[in-house]
Each structure stands twice: as structure tokens, then as C-alpha cells.
């Protein structure tokens, strides 16, 4: 184990990721890829971790309506370099693309084409009176992550996440982390760090 934190119950798990990355980088043991559960995979965390050269592999927090109910941004082809939608699920290109404040993009499709489209009843563009749709860079990043999560590569990498649960269980059972005999954050932090150190020594001896 390269990092352990003791936090009050009211703290948000997602806030612990970036400090952990910073500390492991300072100690020279930061990973190139970090597999984490959904709580740590906010767009902000993923973006800031990328600036540190670390790829966070985590499911996207929050899911849009299912594709059975409505076509979503995930369904539209996008130019990865420009971040612009290049067409609709029906294969038609937008007739206008405008960029607004903070990179928000507005795409407009031909109303005549939309009127005869088979996807009209559940298309986010076809349902709009102006056949126009807006999305932000953040919404696009989340959509692209959701698409990537369906790939075999993501599933293979994220499969490693389940291994940490076994480690957590052993820390509680073998190192007695589940029932500490001290109180107060400072004492608890000190005790946890010693137990994690002991666990690392135990693993080194077994290696």
C-alpha cells in the first residue's frame, strides 16, 4: 500500500483522490493508471489527475436516460480533436455549429430531414422545436467516458478494482483495522499508519 488516509465520516470520498496523488508523487510512487470506484471518478478528478500524468480508470458518476428512452450524446459521432458532433445517429451532418461561452457548442440540424427521420420520436434533437441541441465540453467528456466504459479494454483494467476488497478484508481481519482501541483522529491516524506499515512489511516478507 502506498497511501492511507483517515477522514471523518462527513468528508466526501472524491476529495481524497487528488491529495493522495500529490503525496504519492512526492514520494515517487505515483501510478501511471489509478483504478478507482465511481465515487472518485468525477470529471474534475479525472481532468486534474490527467494534468499530473495519471489516468484515472473509474466508472462515470451519474447516468443519463437509457438509450431505450431517448438518444443521448453518447449516440452521436464526435470528432475527438475538435469535440464537435459530426453527425446524428441517422447519418445526417449538422447544418450549423456555433460555439458559445466556456466552449458550449450548439448544433442545429435541418428541420426537413429531422421531420422524416425514423429516430424523431426519441431523438434529443428531433424533440426540440428548433432542431437544436447544446452541450458543454464536460458533457462531451462524460459521454466519451461512458462509451469507453463499454469497451473490453476498460472492463479488463477495471477488473483489478475488485482485488482491493480482499485487501481491505484482510486489513480488518489480520491487522485488526476494523476495531481500533484508540480514539481521536491523531491517535487513529497514527495507529492506522502503523498497521498499514506492518501490512507492507508482511507482504514484503511473503514475496
pTM of this structure: 0.79
Q: What is the pLDDT of residue 120?
A: 78
Q: What is the pLDDT of residue 72?
A: 81
**Backbone phi and psi for residue 154, each to the nearest 5 degrees, phi listed first:** -65, -45
3-state secondary structure of 3: coil
Apex 158 CA angle, 156 and 160, nearest 5: 90
Apex 103 CA angle, 99 and 105, nearest 5: 45
Q: What is the pLDDT of residues 124-141, one digit of tens each?
A: 765 567 788 888 999 889
3-state secondary structure of 67: coil
Q: What is the pLDDT of residue 191?
A: 94
Q: What is the pLDDT of residues 13-22, one digit of tens each?
A: 889 999 999 9
Rounded to whole angstroms, the Cα distance separating 194 from 199 reads: 9
Q: Which residues of the chain have pLDDT under 70?
A: 63-69, 125-128
Length of the chain: 207
Rounded to whole angstroms, the Cα distance separating 73 from 84 reads: 11
- Determine contact, residues 102/136, Cβ cutoff 8 Å: yes
Q: What is the pLDDT of residue 128?
A: 66
DSSP single-letter state for residue 32: S
Amino acid at each position: 500500500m502506498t497511501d492511507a488516509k483517515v477522514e471523518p465520516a462527513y468528508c466526501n470520498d472524491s476529495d481524497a483522490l487528488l491529495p493522495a496523488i500529490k503525496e504519492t508523487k512526492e514520494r515517487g510512487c505515483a501510478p501511471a493508471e489509478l483504478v478507482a470506484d465511481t465515487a472518485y471518478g468525477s470529471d474534475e478528478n479525472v481532468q486534474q489527475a490527467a494534468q499530473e500524468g495519471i489516468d484515472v480508470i473509474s466508472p462515470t458518476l451519474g447516468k443519463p436516460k437509457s438509450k431505450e428512452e431517448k438518444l443521448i450524446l453518447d449516440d452521436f459521432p464526435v470528432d475527438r480533436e475538435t469535440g464537435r458532433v459530426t453527425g446524428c445517429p441517422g447519418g445526417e451532418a449538422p447544418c450549423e455549429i456555433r460555439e458559445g461561452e466556456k466552449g458550449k457548442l450548439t448544433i442545429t440540424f435541418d428541420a426537413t430531414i429531422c421531420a422524416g427521420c425514423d429516430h424523431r420520436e426519441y431523438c434529443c434533437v428531433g424533440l426540440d422545436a428548433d432542431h437544436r441541441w447544446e452541450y458543454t465540453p464536460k458533457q462531451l467528456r462524460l459521454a466519451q467516458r461512458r462509451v469507453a466504459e463499454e469497451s473490453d479494454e476498460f472492463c479488463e483494467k477495471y477488473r483489478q478494482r475488485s482485488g482491493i476488497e480482499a485487501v481491505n478484508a484482510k486489513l480488518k481481519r489480520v491487522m485488526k483495522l476494523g476495531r481500533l482501541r484508540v480514539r481521536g483522529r491523531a491517535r487513529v491516524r497514527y495507529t492506522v499508519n502503523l498497521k498499514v506499515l506492518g501490512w507492507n512489511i508482511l507482504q514484503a516478507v511473503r514475496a
